[in-house]
Amino acid sequence: MKFAIALFAPPHAPSSRRALRFAQAALAGGHEIVRLFFYQDGVHSAASNPVCPQDELDLSGEWREFVRDQGLDAVVCIAAALRRGVLDAQEAERYQRSAVNLQAPWELSGLGQLHEATQLADRLICFGGP
């Protein structure tokens, strides 16, 4: 089965951990993930600057490793990211901001990527929806 996964929740929310575990289990079960789409507060899971206490799970780091290790298509909604200060180098330069906190393997793009993912996938699974 082909899945598209959308994450709406921040990294400290239980649904973010459930989304990651679902994605890991889906691949382990022989399924395909056509795209991960991070939207609303879910964009914080892609940010590279959060520092977690040693006794807490670094979910942003786990997402980054998972996406990189599996070579997944991971898209961060550009409008949601800009609104929340999650910027790659290009957007930081465009808006004259000094901080860059979105790096590979993440890609900024629009909602069209989510729409396309729903067309390519058999199922869209959403975590932490509004």
* pLDDT tier at 12, thresholds 50, 70, 90: confident
Whether pLDDT at 129 is above 80: no
Distance between CA atoms of residues 26 and 115, nearest Å: 21
CA 1 to chain centre: 20
Is residue 77 flagged as an active site residue? yes
Annotated active-site residue in 77, 78, 102, 117: 77
Residue 90's φ and ψ, nearest 5 degrees, are -65, -45
- 5 - beta bridge partners? 36, 125
Distance between CA atoms of residues 51 and 119, nearest Å: 36
pLDDT for 50 equals 83
pLDDT for 27 equals 98
Distance between CA atoms of residues 113 and 115, nearest Å: 5
- Tens digits of residue pLDDT in 66-119: 999 999 999 999 999 999 999 999 999 999 999 899 999 999 999 999 999 999
pLDDT for 107 equals 95
Distance between CA atoms of residues 82 and 78, nearest Å: 6
Whether pLDDT at 130 is above 80: no
CATH 3.40.1260.10 fits domain 2-127: yes
